[in-house]
Structure 1
Amino acid sequence: MNRAAIAEVVTNTDSTQNEDNVECATSTVQDYELTYDEQRERERLERLVERAFYQAGLALKELRDRRLYRNTHTSFDEYCKDRFAYHRSRYYQLINAATIVDNLQSCLQFVDILPTAEGQVRPLVPLNPDEQRLAWTQAVKATDGKVPSARVVKDIVDKIRERTKLPNPYRVGEVCLILPKDNPDLRGKSGCWCIVTHVGDFSCTIDTWDNEYTVKIEHLKSLEYTDSECEFMGELLKRLRRLHQLPNHDSSIDWQLAGLGKRYEAWLTNVQEEVLHTFEKAYGLIET
């Protein structure tokens, strides 16, 4: 074959390959494009992903408020552990988040973005509803209209708290979880519940089953109990304190009391009530 013939074959081959490549590229672009219905479906599914934590919080709140767990579990805490592997801190995070997202709905007239993850909402919990909306709006604007990270939200919240000097959020009779952090007086009290007995400007006096403490508000976390649940826990604390203060009582009592002092569900199980009742009868605190 002469050089001219070879050149013609090569030219034809390159032309064919170029046409194939163009056709392939066009086909690929067409495959990547979405129809109008597909785009709408994508947006719908993305919204479901973004609001999954919100829907979970709403569902948990309804399950709790209507006590729809009562046929299988004595407490909401036990139900969540068994059914969802959620501990108290987690399901309250989701419930609080759903409540706050509902509050932020009115922000849509200023910023067209709502939280897409529970962590973005968590820093807003200490604020009142008006401050929550203000903080979220400022956080979205600080990120040029994008979804702000939890860190951005927290920074905005810290500035608002410094400026407004938020009052003590706790009230007398409220049931709280103790957070020892760097307080040596609270060593060994991690995970214990307490009752607030006095509220100061920046601290609270609290009672536990074995002692009384004055702590800063950052060493407490509300367990978000209802009024009836707080009343029950207040009466329970009195029962535990009476047993603990008995002179020369059996050491096994303190072991039981320490366990109940860390079990911060709002109700006792039947077995726990029976054990506590037995101790009270044995020491004459109640009539036999």
Structure 2
Amino acid sequence: MNCNSTPLALVSDREFVATKSSFGDDSNRFAPVEAASEEVEPLTPEEQRDRHQLELKVGQAFYQAGKALAQLRSQRLYRSTHRTFEAYSQEKFGFSRRYSDYLIAAACAIENLQQMRTIHSQERLNEPERFDENNLSTLQARILPTKLEQVKPLTSLKTAQQQWQVWNQAIEAANGKVPSGRIVSEIVAQLKQKPLVLDQDDCQVGDVFTLVGLEGTQKKYNGCFCVATELTDLTVTVDVHDATLSVKLENLNEIASSDDKRQLPQTLRRVRRLREVESLDRGAANVLKDLSRRTNLTPVEEGLLSWIENYYRVTE
């Protein structure tokens, strides 16, 4: 699944709350359901397992929505009726582009947790003395988010390992239960307060990312793609369409598509070369600025870039 998305830091709580109703989450639509008067009946182990799995499916409707949106976007299945994914998701589902990106990123976070759970569960199977129903590590292997609010803080983290670390700490803070979004947010905030030492496995010269979480004068570059050009212990120097920035590892959002990773450095070179033209028209400058936020170019966008290159006679 393509996990590339618009920076989720830009999704406001107001937009999030307003859009939740698109899923039919309207507490005023139904009268309270009273508990059944019959005596409760115990479930068999198989029935308990089935109930747990079905409850996860009900609670994680957002996960299925995010997976579906990712596939619709990556395969451009909207193209028969809409020119852009943004127009499609708005008209079809009532979702803004940022909210669709948010659902996709949330689904990616769930898949990251599932993958890490599989890895760590296999490791625990090799240590049978620790694998029991009351062990916290066993609970961590079984518990996954059930609400979108619980995943929202995880989407701001770059790696699956960080998401797994935060999620397990949140489970521990919730005494072995599914943690609230507030608990997850607090642990994410604590993690971000610590200086992140650059890991060569996370970033290498030439890698391509989108920028997130920038503040101050660099804030305008949030959402732009960039190419890493120099690494230090704590920072990464990156090239964007019109500048060179020094950012932290947490400001780099990995681009999932291998095709995009191969194409974007060339696109950046073309854009930066055009930006050096002294007589660059305002319209051309605006087009180049817009293209700097596109991690993959449509045929029309590619055509526009080629036309500007031909107009100013700037070609490779």
| From 267, 271, 277, the counterpart of 2:306 | 277
**1:143 maps to 2:174:** yes
C-alpha spacing 1:49/1:254, structure 2 compared with 1 (3 Å):
same
Aligned CA distance change for structure 1 residues 124 and 59 (closer, same or farther; 3 Å): same
Alignment CA distance shift 1:68-1:211 (3 Å): closer
TM superposition shift of 1:51: 1.9
2:214 equivalent in structure 1: 180
CA distance in 2, matches of 1:200, 1:242: 27
More helix by share: 1
> In 2, Cα distance between the equivalents of 1:94 and 1:224?
15
CA distance in 1, matches of 2:158, 2:243: 31
Q: Are positions 1:94 and 2:103 aligned together?
A: no
Task: Determine if contact 1:174/1:196 at 8 Å carries over to the other structure.
Answer: yes
1:20 match: none
Tell me, in whole angstroms, the C-alpha distance in 1 between the residues paired with 2:182 and 2:78. 39
* TM-score (norm. length: structure 1): 0.68
- Select the residue among 248, 255, 263 that pairs with 1:232: 263
Q: Which amino acid aligns with 1:119?
A: E
Letter in 2 for 1:121: V
Q: Which among 117, 129, 141 is matched to residue 147 of structure 2?
A: 117
Structure 1 residues 57 and 171, CA gap change in structure 2 (3 angstroms): farther
Which amino acid in 2 is paired with 1:207?
D
Larger Rg: 1
Residue 69, structure 1, aligned to residue 100, structure 2: no
Give the stretch that moved more between structures: 128-137 or 52-61: 128-137
Match of 2:68 in 1: 59
Instruction: Note the C-alpha offset of 1:245.
Output: 0.7
Task: Classify 1:99/1:70 alpha carbon distance in 2 versus 1 (closer, same or farther; 3 Å).
Answer: same
1:245 paired residue number: 276
Length, aligned pairs only: 253
Cα 1:238–1:135 change in 2 (3 A) is: closer
Equivalent of residue 228 in structure 2, options 166, 182, 196: 196
Q: 1:196–1:207: 8 Å Cα contact kept in structure 2?
A: yes
Provide structure 1 residue ranges, at least 5 long, that are not aligned to the other structure.
1-28
Aligned partners of 1:130 and 1:230: how far apart in 2?
A: 21
In 2: Cα distance, 1:248 partner to 1:139 partner: 55
Please report how far the alpha carbon of residue 228 of structure 1 lies from its aligned counterpart in structure 2 after TM superposition: 1.9
Further displaced range: 275-284 or 124-133: 124-133
Alignment of 1:159-178 (within 5 A): 167-168=198-199, 169-172=202-205, 173-178=207-212
Letter of the structure 2 residue corresponding to residue 217 of structure 1: L
Unaligned runs of 5+ in 2: 1-33, 122-135
AA paired with 1:226? S
- Output the CA distance in 2 between the equivalents of 1:96 and 1:149: 19
CA distance in 1, matches of 2:227, 2:185: 28
**Cα offsets for 1:226-247 (capped at 9, x unmatched):** 2320221111111111111123
Check conservation: 2:72, 2:78, Cα contact below 8 A.
no
Contact 2:198 2:235 in 1 (8 A): no
Task: Mark the CA change 1:119 to 1:221 in structure 2 (over 3 Å): closer, same or farther.
Answer: farther
- 227-236 or 72-81, which moves further after superposition? 72-81
Q: Please state whether the residue corresponding to 2:221 is helix, strand or coil.
A: coil
In 2, are the aligned partners of 1:58 and 1:98 still within 8 Å (CA)? no
Contact (CA 8 Å) 1:104, 1:114: kept in 2 or not?
A: no
Which residue pairs with 1:15 in the alignment?
none
String of CA shifts for 1:53-98, please: whole Å, max 9, x gaps. 2333443455556x26275377767765565434364144223222
Query: More deviation in 251-260 or 134-143?
Result: 134-143
2:309–2:315: 8 Å Cα contact kept in structure 1? yes
Q: Is the 8 A contact 2:211 2:223 kept in 1?
A: yes
* Mapped partners of 1:243, 1:120: distance in 2: 44
CA 109–58 in structure 1, closer or farther in 2 if over 3 Å, else same:
farther
C-alpha separation between the residues in 2 aligned to 1:193 and 1:128? Answer: 18
CA distance in structure 2 between the partners assigned to 1:283 and 1:121 by the alignment: 47
